[in-house]
Amino acid sequence: EVQLVESGGGLVQPGGSLRLSCAASGFTLNNYQVIWVRQAPGKGLEWISYISSSGNTIHYADSVRGRFTVSRDHAINSVYLQMSSLRAEDTAVYYCVRDLDTLIQGLWEDAFDIWGQGTTVTVSS
């Protein structure tokens, strides 16, 4: 079965750190771009990060830039989100998402087709 599985969520105090992992089964994650999306309790979806398949191109939302770091380890087919200086407003379910580049009429288009089940991060004292 093709799927993504996040892990590493939990309860952390304000100012603390946490590292989320995203692993794939049924396909080679190394070949794909990945984004991270989060959802605060009762709220909508928020895109927070992108990493290219090579790991050489990275983007962040303003809300996490300077505090979160996305990376990947090709040796073990995984993507990570290192979160530091955590705040109460970072409390959310975090999803990793596969970005499937699809060629349509000569142009590469994004299709965010595989989502993990999500991992919950709670920042509280």
Site residues, other proteins (CB under 8 A): 35, 37, 44-47, 50, 59-62, 95, 102, 104, 109-113, 115-118
Pick 75 or 107: Cβ nearer other proteins: 107
CB of 3 to other proteins, least distance (A): 10
How many Cβ atoms are within 10 Å of 78's Cβ, its own excluded? Answer: 19
| Cα–Cα distance for residue pair 118/7, rounded to 1 Å | 8
Rounded least distance, CB 45 to other proteins, Å: 5
DSSP per residue over 18-52, as a string? EEEEEEEESS-GGGSEEEEEEE-TT--EEEEEEE-
Could you give the angle at the alpha carbon of 114 between the alpha carbons of 111 and 120, nearest 5°?
A: 125
Assign 78 to helix, strand or coil.
strand
Smallest separation (angstroms) from other proteins to the CB of 113: 5
- Shortest reach from residue 5's CB to other proteins, in Å: 11
Report the C-alpha gap between 35 and 51 in whole angstroms: 6
Q: With respect to other proteins, which residue has the nearer C-beta, 60 or 80?
A: 60
Which lies closer to other proteins via its Cβ, residue 16 or residue 46?
46
Q: Which is nearer to other proteins, 45 or 73 (CB)?
A: 45
